[in-house]
A and B are shown apart, each in its own frame.
Chain A
Amino acid sequence: GQNIDQPTEMTATEGAIVQINCTYQTSGFNGLFWYQQHAGEAPTFLSYNVLDGLEEKGRFSSFLSRSKGYSYLLLKELQMKDSASYLCAVKIKNTDKLIFGTGTRLQVFP
């Protein structure tokens, strides 16, 4: 079976740094995606990792360790608009399946 775990909720303060973790146990792995979803809206793509290491994109970075089945999304210089759910998704090897975790709801306070 497929198992992707994320914390349910996190809180942080404006201007701070927050790290959202994702661990996965899947039948094959071919890349990990992070999405942002504001309440009532569609998920939008943030980042993609297929090799081990850190990918940086402005205030957002994503890290992957395939041997540990672990990824994190790092958000720096938090803004109020970063309050949203963050979804981790794994592409299953040899298929076109994208399997999502349950998502982490982040609340940013002033």
Chain B
Amino acid sequence: DVKVTQSSRYLVKRTGEKVFLECVQDMDHENMFWYRQDPGLGLRLIYFSYDVKMKEKGDIPEGYSVSREKKERFSLILESASTNQTSMYLCASRLGSMNTEAFFGQGTRLTVV
């Protein structure tokens, strides 16, 4: 079974802190994604990566950056956390160049106070 693991289920951080959300997949997938999920807004794409060291902005990249140094790991970085970044963050991975489904991690519920 494909496994996508996010490092934390719940996080509480203070405004202005630098926050790292980690995601690891074990199926050698090329593509990895970070979404945030908010009530009434659905899943919104923050950033995605189609290969190691390759990244593209999604629909809402402001206030975030990403890192993909190794194929299995995709990190989301909040440079200076703000209260409006309180959300559920979901990581996903899928095989590239094929129309295969994405597999999701369990999500990280981040609260910024």
- Residues on A lying within 8 angstroms of B by beta carbon are 2, 8, 30-31, 33, 41-45, 48, 50, 87, 89, 91, 95-103
Contact = CB atoms under 8 A, between A and B. Distances in A.
Nearest to A47: B101
Q: Binding site of A, secondary structure by majority: helix, strand, loop or mixed?
A: loop
A31 B103 CA distance: 16
Nearest to A101: B42
Interface of B: 4, 30-31, 33, 35, 40-45, 48, 50, 56, 58-59, 90, 92, 94, 96, 99, 101-107
A48 B45 contact: no
Contact of A31 (B33, B59, B99): B99
B45 A45 contact: no
B42 A42 contact: no
Contact of B43 (A50, A91, A100): A100
B50 A42 contact: no
Q: Which of A2, A41, A42 has the most CB of B within 10 A?
A: A42
B38 to A, nearest CB: 10
B109 to A, nearest CB: 9
Contacts of A45: 101-103
